[in-house]
Structure 1
């Protein structure tokens, strides 16, 4: 907590609470958009602007009178306090929080002007005030800022900021810096009267061609800045505007990385590629992706246009209503492409258009669906499957939603290693930032990136460089061919890092039926929420599972076992014991944890009860309409626990519905207390974690069962949950 930020927050609340447009801010000493927005609203109130909003817009700029050093003895005022408050929130000490603009505040204004990159005057213009009242950084970032990029940003502010607000000078290349570079280029092209920061037709038409011996200084400096912002590898500091051999080498390195002709020339396609995500869309390409099932006629079109690699979808549909059609690859299609020498890279996308798609469990579900589809089509080990993040994911969404989703996918791909299924690599399709984050994550989630550069306005593309592991670069949507051979495609640059697959080898089993596919999809969806299945039964999620057979998926010597069985109806155990059933509809669970636990709820903390409720809710969501059944039989040290998820409505493509009950059977036949020391191997510990979780949950639900008295919930937790820090002292 920052004491001065806290003082600013208290002053804002004391001064403006009750005034139109102002809402009290949290008094937590933490700076951020809320506090800065409140300072802007306070400023607008002082300026007499009706309907204040937390945005420093044109009206605020127009009405702001400017601030400068006061004469000694001058009275304090609120606008100066807002200026000083903005400095404190930005990490500058303006000499106090007095409301007087004296020497200390003037010195800090000059320091800030130096950080911005402009001549220090000590006068606070509306433009400078706008830069103070935001959360942009104007000192070098200690995490990933680069001093040379900061120099570029300061130069842009100094020389071209008549076109734009002051950009951050923290050494991090981002969208504001990107647009400022385009403004600078447009100014030097002589189209400043229509400059807009977008690399449009006029910018393309007036773009220079720069080469050794033929490169005006002003253009070469902008070229050097653009190269430096794209990567330290292309940095030719000092930025003196001299097109020397160092600049020529940097251009060639960039063009080689982006698969442009390596000729030492910075022509329009090169400059546009430096400053936009899609580059010059008229360039040729040998790779593409398409949502249309390819036949021989459209294959001929691909050959006519020299396409050698195509991305195609493993599953799914496009369109709605009468226009709905499958986008999934077929065996016939893959055979045609292989015969004609066109390689394929598989894409998985059955959603992924919004942040809420990427919820816990989705990555596991999607991974198994993709593996099953790829295996059934015959894609061999080593194939990269690209999982789509097909929207403009903000950085916090990448952190909170996308990376956990990809971590789940990676975990499933790691689980199948060494088994009977092909071993697939993980690719990610998304914006530059999404791909960069997936690559730079500590565990290196993605092997390769399929970059969606076609979406030039994405915040995750503007101001971000290309990930070093890019394999395909989607840059332009178009149609090729004519008549029956017309084909809509997205043009892709091709780096050669992932060559795609030249031929597939489908398994000997016949193509799975629509009924099997529907049933298996339902099983995968439910199975991701049933303890034991994901950890111990990865082979169950491949094709060719026998739904008429009970599968032993784990066994720990003679201590315990886990089985899974399937049925087309809900079958309560016939050998006594205790059974509880929760009915599930599309509206949720009919019944509550309280109705099951009764007085036993007092034995558990709210944290633990909330965990149970979330678990049941997640299982119910995967069921839709059906039931969750819990049953326990046994006495003493012998117990059998059954956890059943029953889905009543499973739609089959082409019509009809199926039902499926998935039951996981946990059997224990020993007093577990003495075996703590035996928990040495990773496999046994993993099994213990799952069993402990399940027994803790369901023995609680089946309160009063003799096995509780024998083992004690506390013993089960301590021995089996595998995480003593997560055990509450008062649980028994």
Structure 2
């Protein structure tokens, strides 16, 4: 709902400062960062700063301190300067006295009320506006509880502000009742101040000096004072049910025991160093031992002995390696699970592709990831009921979790459900990711990347209630052949991995014809996936129904596709996916374009290229692909002239008329693509030669190259991966029979 006084403030900053500060804001009556940035720039303009910034930084604070350390009716330099203050008050929800340019009693009362809400009225009483309070005025922080904020957290926030606002690097934090990165850093600063660190030394980082100091400040029942306040504040910010207090009571000790039990610390009921560390920083006490680990090195017999000697019980290993040229031991290696089991260890599988930014996460990509992980888990021999931890290995902001990560995990959940529920999903990532994915019902347990303590999704969030593994430190254990570099994880017992495995499937076993018993389920699953990404079974506005596309590109030509797969060491799923995907996209305009190509050539002899056939391949691409494969000896045939309309049309017409030739051409285009598409206008990097055990990145590249190099090809290749993984699921079943 629009606030007319906020709209008045926006109109003021636009009319008075817009051209001067290089920005105008929308006059919508809604408080937002753009308005606060504009007011900040207006203030900087008034202070004589020539290089304006959205940031209310050290220069702005310093100039305010030197020029106007206390703004009031006597010191405010101009009416417009006062209107900046009044505009900020309206944007914060306080009375701005009608933007009359007067620092009158109404403005003074509003400033005093805001300072009281901030918790600084005791140290900075009255209605004068001081630099740090001014900085707090021109941001989006709230100083009253909002959106279900906790009164206990607000009391901590107000206390921190009032107690430490006089320190150089401590700035006023929100008092909205919600924990956050800034609140967490402020608590660390407060601890450092109480340890006696000077301004400029205290930095809000959990470093050696802070650790050493905390070891000297253990607390127990009967302790009193500021240290207890800091400790109880840490408990509150970690969502423990305690009161903010200066006395370490027996009830606080009981709550500490509960917390220690939850995070798997020794249960002492005391505020010892390890408990302080778990309250203040995500990774906690990194000197702890852990019963779990994960890493990118093969667990050999010697390394397994090292892990057992260190008390390790659970080992996290990756199902796949998306990049075959990097970290060659990252994925589970042949025989490794047998070695793990033989030494009494248990393994929990992790699925991670690149996934280091939000662009790698979407519903369609989640569907592909879920099926890919299930396929790989079966390949390695993981049994029914295994939980696979799907990785979110970046600092996802809250909006990215909403827009990308949650749809992605919905896709994973749908894929695993469609797979028969053989495997279940867990999530690996920062605390906020794990919490939200779990709350959405897409994960049954969390593997928390707490070593990334600086992530916004870790700093200011509690350990998820469903945590299974807590990643805290990297260590090298053992020596000689038994030496291994791993991430140490604390284990909660919510997940225990697997200790026995089925025989693995051979990743280089050639494909065979489809088992008749799977073709119906294969068609159903692929149709359901396509429906989930917006392709109705009846074709919608496109020319062909799902059943027709499946029949033409999978079922009716299975013998041919199998023959091509065996001959070229190419997975059948590559041919099936590209042909099926392209046929599903044919629409009436494509069919009219085909007719136009035929008519024009027959009338004028000119060839106007256009994608055609069930694989939707253009004449020039088909000629270049066939020429390349003939020249490499992959296939025999006639070399065609890509500059000749007659040659281009001749091949184009074969692709158009013959489903068999079109499928052979799909195969040729993939072979050409693996070799870098020589002769094409946009030649690509050469991949490893065609093979049955291509990594996912190589499969993705071939699917993308089939379509081209533009943004649409990239986006569609991500969606095609879902089709590929389903095709591969049923091809794998067939070749394993």
TM over 0.5: yes
Greater CA drift, 210-219 or 457-466? 210-219
CA distance in 1, matches of 2:34, 2:99: 19
CA distance in 2, matches of 1:135, 1:529: 50
- Paired position in structure 2 for 1:203: 210
- Paired position in structure 2 for 1:482: 479
Any idea what the Cα deviations from partners look like across 1:529-579, whole Å, max 9, x if unmatched?
Answer: 997152699xxxxxxxxxxxxxx9979xxxx999843565999xxxxxxxx
2:129 to 120, 124, 131: 124
1:140–1:147: 8 Å Cα contact kept in structure 2?
Answer: yes
Instruction: Trace 1:493-512 onto structure 2 (pairs within 5 A).
Output: 493-506=490-503, 510-512=505-507
- Paired position in structure 2 for 1:5: 6
- Paired position in structure 2 for 1:655: 689
Is 1:285 the counterpart of 2:285? The answer is no
Say if 1:16 and 1:391 are closer, same or farther in 2 by CA, change over 3 A.
Answer: same
Is 1:349 the counterpart of 2:348? The answer is no
Give 1:236 deviation, angstroms.
Answer: 2.4
Q: Give SS of 1:96's match.
A: helix
1:224 to 228, 232, 236: 232
Say if 1:531 and 1:372 are closer, same or farther in 2 by CA, change over 3 A.
Answer: closer
List alignment gaps of at least 5 residues for structure 2. 515-521, 533-544, 565-577, 594-611, 626-651, 676-686, 704-737
- Paired position in structure 2 for 1:416: 419
- Paired position in structure 2 for 1:150: 154
Instruction: Trace 1:65-464 onto structure 2 (pairs within 5 A).
Output: 65-66=68-69, 68-70=71-73, 77-119=79-121, 120-141=125-146, 143-163=147-167, 164-193=170-199, 194-207=201-214, 208-213=216-221, 215-231=223-239, 234-237=240-243, 239-316=244-321, 324-417=327-420, 423-441=422-440, 444-464=441-461
Any idea what the Cα deviations from partners look like across 1:474-522, whole Å, max 9, x if unmatched?
Answer: 0101111112221110000100001111111136xx51317669x9xxx
Is 1:31 the counterpart of 2:31? The answer is yes
Any idea what the Cα deviations from partners look like across 1:574-617, whole Å, max 9, x if unmatched?
Answer: xxxxxxxxxx9xxx99x998963879xxxxxxxxxxxxxxxx9x
CA distance in 2, matches of 1:598, 1:41: 58
Give 1:70 deviation, angstroms.
Answer: 2.3
1:596 to 573, 584, 590: 590
Give 1:264 deviation, angstroms.
Answer: 1.3
Any idea what the Cα deviations from partners look like across 1:393-452, whole Å, max 9, x if unmatched?
Answer: 1111111111111110011112122xxxx62111111000111111122xx111110000
Give 1:649 deviation, angstroms.
Answer: 2.2
Q: Give SS of 1:398's match.
A: helix
Give 1:27 deviation, angstroms.
Answer: 2.6
Give 1:204 deviation, angstroms.
Answer: 0.8
Q: Give SS of 2:186's match.
A: helix
Give 1:351 deviation, angstroms.
Answer: 0.9
More strand by share: 1
Give aligned pairs, total: 576
CA distance in 2, matches of 1:645, 1:67: 78
Give 1:654 deviation, angstroms.
Answer: 5.9
- Paired position in structure 1 for 2:529: 534
Q: Give SS of 2:128's match.
A: coil
Say if 1:252 and 1:528 are closer, same or farther in 2 by CA, change over 3 A.
Answer: farther
Q: Give SS of 1:369's match.
A: helix
More helix by share: 2
- Paired position in structure 2 for 1:16: 17
Superposition RMSD in Å? 4.0
- Paired position in structure 2 for 1:467: 464
1:5–1:85: 8 Å Cα contact kept in structure 2?
Answer: yes
- For CA contacts below 8 A with separation 6 or more, give which structure has more relative contact order: 2
1:477–1:490: 8 Å Cα contact kept in structure 2?
Answer: yes
Q: Give SS of 1:490's match.
A: strand
CA distance in 2, matches of 1:644, 1:37: 60
Instruction: Trace 1:569-648 onto structure 2 (pairs within 5 A).
Output: 596=590, 646=666, 648=669
Any idea what the Cα deviations from partners look like across 1:36-67, whole Å, max 9, x if unmatched?
Answer: 11111111111111111111111111222156
- Paired position in structure 1 for 2:642: none
2:363–2:410: 8 Å Cα contact kept in structure 1?
Answer: no
Q: Give SS of 1:34's match.
A: helix
- Paired position in structure 2 for 1:544: none
Q: Give SS of 2:289's match.
A: coil
2:274–2:285: 8 Å Cα contact kept in structure 1?
Answer: yes
CA distance in 2, matches of 1:202, 1:300: 36
Greater CA drift, 644-653 or 377-386? 644-653
CA distance in 2, matches of 1:562, 1:448: 42
Any idea what the Cα deviations from partners look like across 1:617-640, whole Å, max 9, x if unmatched?
Answer: xx999xxx88999x999xxxxxxx
CA distance in 2, matches of 1:329, 1:83: 62
Any idea what the Cα deviations from partners look like across 1:218-268, whole Å, max 9, x if unmatched?
Answer: 21111111111101xx3321x332111111111111110000011112111
Give 1:107 deviation, angstroms.
Answer: 1.1
List alignment gaps of at least 5 residues for structure 1. 520-526, 538-551, 572-583, 600-615, 634-641, 663-732
- Paired position in structure 2 for 1:40: 40
CA distance in 2, matches of 1:644, 1:245: 78
2:72–2:129: 8 Å Cα contact kept in structure 1?
Answer: no
CA distance in 2, matches of 1:286, 1:327: 21
1:569–1:646: 8 Å Cα contact kept in structure 2?
Answer: no
Q: Give SS of 1:293's match.
A: coil
CA distance in 2, matches of 1:415, 1:75: 69
Say if 1:178 and 1:561 are closer, same or farther in 2 by CA, change over 3 A.
Answer: same
Say if 1:4 and 1:562 are closer, same or farther in 2 by CA, change over 3 A.
Answer: farther
Give 1:211 deviation, angstroms.
Answer: 4.0
Say if 1:146 and 1:553 are closer, same or farther in 2 by CA, change over 3 A.
Answer: same
Say if 1:7 and 1:435 are closer, same or farther in 2 by CA, change over 3 A.
Answer: same
- Paired position in structure 1 for 2:508: 513
2:437–2:443: 8 Å Cα contact kept in structure 1?
Answer: yes
CA distance in 2, matches of 1:570, 1:454: 50
1:288–1:490: 8 Å Cα contact kept in structure 2?
Answer: yes
CA distance in 1, matches of 2:455, 2:132: 26
TM-score normalised per structure 2: 0.71
CA distance in 2, matches of 1:166, 1:513: 61
Say if 1:47 and 1:372 are closer, same or farther in 2 by CA, change over 3 A.
Answer: same
TM-score normalised per structure 1: 0.71
Greater CA drift, 105-114 or 193-202? 193-202
